[in-house]
Structure 1
Amino acid sequence: MIGEEVYDNKTHLQLSVNWLLNMQNSDGGYARKFSFVSGEDMSYIETTGYIIPSLWSAGERLNEIKYINSAKKAGEWLLKIQNDDGSFSEIDSNTPFAFDTGQCLIGLNFLYQKTEHKEYLDAAKRAAYWLMQNQEEDGSWQKVAYNTQKHTYYSRVAAAMLHYAVISNDYVVEKVAMKHIAWVLSEQKENGFFQKSSFLEDVAPYLHTIIYVLEGLLDIYDLTNDKVILEAVLKNANVFKEISLKRDLILCSQYDENFNCVNKERCITGLAQWAGVALRLFEITDNEEYLQCAKNTLFYLKAKQIKSSVMRGGFSASVPFLGKYGSFDFVNWSNKFFIDTLLKYDNFYISSTDEQESFVATAFMQTNDVVTDSLSIMDKQYLKELKAIFPKDKPLRVLDIGCGKGIIMDELSKEFKNIEFFGVDPVYESKTIKKGSVYKIPFENEYFDVVMSFEVLQHTYINRALQEIQRVLKYKGEIIIGERNPFSLLGFLKPILELKGKWMYPWDSPFREKWYNENKWVEILRENGFETMDFKSIEGAGKRFMNRYFLIKGESK
């Protein structure tokens, strides 16, 4: 639950597809789930249908024929188990369901386009016509729907039908598909929320089915370029974007119709889907905030992917493991949507340090008391120490990395006219502050005499950050670091407060700030080309052992 290992996209992709490969049963279908209670499950018809494009596409990206062959084997199984009337059945009751049929139609459409084998097109037609024959007058599905209830997330069924209609020039099926979409749009509330997006009436929907609605509508938009549909998607997605960037950071497992989080667990499948939708909307709208949502969410998911054991490459359905959605299970569709999103995300060439810094920056923006316009008690303590360190008769260039709004620089510049101060921050920007990264400082080599950083390096991959600081420092240049001392009452309570969600990062954060003791700091600095010159312990707010800090001086070797 508290894993922090994050790899490159290719490694995570391989882990994910290999897990699905291991979940493929001898009949060709993919096991619905693995449970530590009941073991590996039977082949799941519904998700096997939509896993096929994911495995095949991953095989093409990774140049691995075994993944493509796996998809072909799954497709052959679908042909064998399709019902005589064209439908596909739900595996527990063996009852023909609209949603299951629609998801199998996704795989059949894809296989026909890849292989041009007519049996896939024939099977797709039979599925599409069964769906057409069982549609309700208002365009929904009910008699052949889960719990015999109408669901707006069946937009994914309509999208599969429209795709078939485009492939086969079937205008009858096209009309039926768009009739359902008209019904879905009629169920959107003024605030953007889609009603009937839950598995069960009167139960708040999981993120999984909420995003299903958006995926189906976006698939329709891709085929029609209908701006009304895009506007409906954005009306909903914009709210989740704002929630993700300003309130929840990692979206909750369940939301009510007013977009209130009613279950603070995580639905892993829904998060993988949300990241995918955010990427698609970034491509359509060029709104960088959607890319930020995708980066933050994928950073979280990569950290939560199982890295060892028999489940290596899989995901628990919920975080925590015993959460309401898929308790104690590893479901195959989490991997499917993670693969789809990674395949798209890999085209943006975003590094793990970019992801980590985006996640941290968003957490800072959601914590109002971390970056302020006024000097804190510790800012004043740091200023007192700095004023005793800096000379007044020697010209210097000084960089404050992660400077926030630059209040420490501003105070120092009033007294030290001989020093030219510069700031770099991932969020804030001004005349003296450049927007940038501690991993990619926007200055040339050996530019600064001094680099200072206050309670920032604890939020970084420390070795990478120090290596970049070393690059911009002159030979024998100084590094000045203000950081937390873990040997304190707050240092003792920190892990407890983090797990209770009483810290700036979420309780299940993929990254936690690191507080190092004196010996560890000496070791880290030496490994990264610095010699420690001075170490001073400061009592926070003057209260002994309550909240303690280090002021560290080092020299570039």
Structure 2
Amino acid sequence: MNMFARWFSARPTDVDVDPHRGLRAAAEWLARAQDATASGGVSAYYDMDKGTWAGAYPETTGYIIPTFFRYATFSGQDEYRERAIRMAAWESDIQLADGGVRAGTMDATKIAPTIFNTGQVLFGWLAAWQATQDPRFHDSLVRAADWLVDAQDPDGAWRRFASPFAKHGLNTYNTRVAFGLALAGRELQKPEYIEAAVRNVQWALGQMHPNGWLENNDLQDNEHPLTHTIAYATRGMLEVGLIAGNAGFVDAAIRIARSVARTQRPDGGLPGRLDADWRPAARWTCVTGNAQMAIVWQRLARETGDATWTPAAERANRFNLSIQDLKAKDDGARDGIPGSYPLKGGYMKNRYPNWAAKFFMDALMLQLETDPQHA
């Protein structure tokens, strides 16, 4: 038995799950979250305690856009392509004059551009431009990317324009921003974006312990980072390494991914937080982190040809499928993915965040595309 299993109340491993059904349900939930705002943007989360949807969230709406384009192709349902275009148009409508994207949800009282949120919307504008060739999306993408490059310090870190809603302003998980920049640089043939991305990952590697653990890698508790932000940082290193042809970045991502995999329970769940020795620092699981790590492990299997990464990813997907409530009477809970398991855990307590459903969909589509038994 995994040495960390005693920390948790594990899910039964014999739960009947269907990846196709779970994927479809999550897409329908995200569609409801978009409709709840009546703006084109996607509600940040559903709050079980209040029975209400939060305001539209520019950051995560941005990276839901490529998920919906992908799902439209995967499912053959053009509705999701149309929804993705509406999201991208909304993002362009609310883009700040300097090119940045605002922190927080649309009902936040403070309006300020922030690095991380801007980096996440790059994914959406790029996907929308590729799908439509609408110059508006190209313009928004370039303005945002240029703003990020201008805001970067010479050592590769982003110290200005931190979110006013996060405790820590210096973040190694900004490699997820670097990923968006590198992708834009490759697709738009702008090497300066890739160079900026490489500088950020190089800076982040300077924050790495010999065992792969990263300093400055959490929203609130840098001593015990969430698997959510650990996965952000890992995926950023991996993808920038692949785009830039830097094997050292890929190796760093592998070191982290292996350490996280060792903490996985037999039922597929991960501890919600980990300490500097890769020991559990929470009794609950961060469900978003489970899904993101499933993506990282599947990307590593695909890019390295090492199939030993696949079982951990499939276990994580199965765990997340097993806690998706497809029969809840509450429209905000039914088909959604909770922030924590149990629901009262320490991340997004009693809430269903849209980013959990987004990464859940991405992880399932990766699995279904590569597993002939589920094709």
TM-score normalised by L of structure 2: 0.89
Q: Which deviations, in whole Å up to 9, do the C-alpha atoms of 1:315-342 show, x marking residues without a partner?
A: 1110111111001101000010011111
1: distance between equivalents of 2:267 and 2:75?
Answer: 34
Q: 1:209-358 alignment to 2 at 5 Å? A: 209-244=229-264, 250-308=269-327, 309=329, 310=331, 311-349=333-371
Q: 1:372-383 alignment to 2 at 5 Å? A: none
Q: Is 1:166 equivalent to 2:176 in the alignment?
A: no
Q: Which deviations, in whole Å up to 9, do the C-alpha atoms of 1:161-180 show, x marking residues without a partner?
A: 11222222222232222211
Compute the displacement of 1:134 (Å).
1.4
Counterpart of 1:95 in structure 2: which amino acid? A
* Matched position secondary structure for 1:223: helix
Q: Which deviations, in whole Å up to 9, do the C-alpha atoms of 1:480-518 show, x marking residues without a partner?
A: xxxxxxxxxxxxxxxxxxxxxxxxxxxxxxxxxxxxxxx
Compute the displacement of 1:299 (Å).
1.1
1: distance between equivalents of 2:103 and 2:78?
Answer: 30
Compute the displacement of 1:131 (Å).
0.9
Q: Which deviations, in whole Å up to 9, do the C-alpha atoms of 1:395-451 show, x marking residues without a partner?
A: xxxxxxxxxxxxxxxxxxxxxxxxxxxxxxxxxxxxxxxxxxxxxxxxxxxxxxxxx
More helix by share: 2
1: distance between equivalents of 2:144 and 2:316?
Answer: 35
Counterpart of 1:287 in structure 2: which amino acid? D
Compute the displacement of 1:202 (Å).
4.2
2: distance between equivalents of 1:37 and 1:201?
Answer: 25
Counterpart of 1:319 in structure 2: which amino acid? Y
Match of 2:66 in 1: 53
Percent identical:
26
Q: Is 1:151 equivalent to 2:143 in the alignment?
A: no
- Please say which of residues 274-283 and 147-156 is displaced more in the overlay: 147-156
CA contact (8 A) 1:6 1:299 kept: no
1: distance between equivalents of 2:62 and 2:297?
Answer: 24
Q: 1:416-495 alignment to 2 at 5 Å? A: none
Match of 1:8 in 2: 18
Q: Name stretches of at least 5 consecutive residues in structure 2 with no aligned partner.
A: 1-9
CA contact (8 A) 2:326 2:335 kept: yes
2: distance between equivalents of 1:313 and 1:351?
Answer: 23
2: distance between equivalents of 1:119 and 1:240?
Answer: 40
Q: Which deviations, in whole Å up to 9, do the C-alpha atoms of 1:168-193 show, x marking residues without a partner?
A: 22222322222111101211110011
Compute the displacement of 1:151 (Å).
0.6
2: distance between equivalents of 1:5 and 1:41?
Answer: 31
Q: Name stretches of at least 5 consecutive residues in structure 1 with no aligned partner.
A: 353-557
* Matched position secondary structure for 1:261: coil
1: distance between equivalents of 2:268 and 2:85?
Answer: 39
Q: Is 1:19 equivalent to 2:29 in the alignment?
A: yes
* Matched position secondary structure for 2:153: coil
Compute the displacement of 1:138 (Å).
1.9
1: distance between equivalents of 2:11 and 2:185?
Answer: 46
Higher RCO (CA 8 Å, separation ≥ 6 residues): 2
Gap change, CA 1:148 and 1:244, over 3 Å in 2: closer
Compute the displacement of 1:106 (Å).
1.1
Counterpart of 1:59 in structure 2: which amino acid? A
1: distance between equivalents of 2:23 and 2:373?
Answer: 15
1: distance between equivalents of 2:267 and 2:279?
Answer: 10
More strand by share: 1
Compute the displacement of 1:350 (Å).
6.6
Match of 1:134 in 2: 151
Compute the displacement of 1:142 (Å).
1.7
Query: Number of paired residues?
Result: 351
1: distance between equivalents of 2:211 and 2:267?
Answer: 18
* Matched position secondary structure for 1:243: coil
Compute the displacement of 1:248 (Å).
8.7
Compute the displacement of 1:139 (Å).
1.1
2: distance between equivalents of 1:170 and 1:334?
Answer: 31
Q: Is 1:124 equivalent to 2:124 in the alignment?
A: no
- Please say which of residues 187-196 and 95-104 is displaced more in the overlay: 187-196
Gap change, CA 1:94 and 1:5, over 3 Å in 2: farther
1: distance between equivalents of 2:259 and 2:362?
Answer: 23
1: distance between equivalents of 2:87 and 2:121?
Answer: 10
Match of 2:3 in 1: none
Gap change, CA 1:299 and 1:257, over 3 Å in 2: same
CA contact (8 A) 1:6 1:302 kept: no
Q: Which deviations, in whole Å up to 9, do the C-alpha atoms of 1:17-46 show, x marking residues without a partner?
A: 000000002110000000022310100000
2: distance between equivalents of 1:212 and 1:343?
Answer: 19
Q: Is 1:99 equivalent to 2:112 in the alignment?
A: no
Gap change, CA 1:297 and 1:201, over 3 Å in 2: closer
2: distance between equivalents of 1:224 and 1:248?
Answer: 36
- Please say which of residues 162-171 and 14-23 is displaced more in the overlay: 162-171
Match of 2:6 in 1: none
CA contact (8 A) 1:8 1:351 kept: no
Counterpart of 2:89 in structure 1: which amino acid? E
Match of 2:85 in 1: 72
1: distance between equivalents of 2:350 and 2:28?
Answer: 21
2: distance between equivalents of 1:238 and 1:2?
Answer: 23
Gap change, CA 1:201 and 1:72, over 3 Å in 2: same
1: distance between equivalents of 2:267 and 2:18?
Answer: 25
Match of 2:4 in 1: none
Gap change, CA 1:5 and 1:72, over 3 Å in 2: farther
CA contact (8 A) 1:252 1:261 kept: yes
1: distance between equivalents of 2:153 and 2:267?
Answer: 38
* Matched position secondary structure for 1:34: strand
* Cα-Cα RMSD: 1.9
CA contact (8 A) 2:168 2:219 kept: no
Gap change, CA 1:325 and 1:115, over 3 Å in 2: same
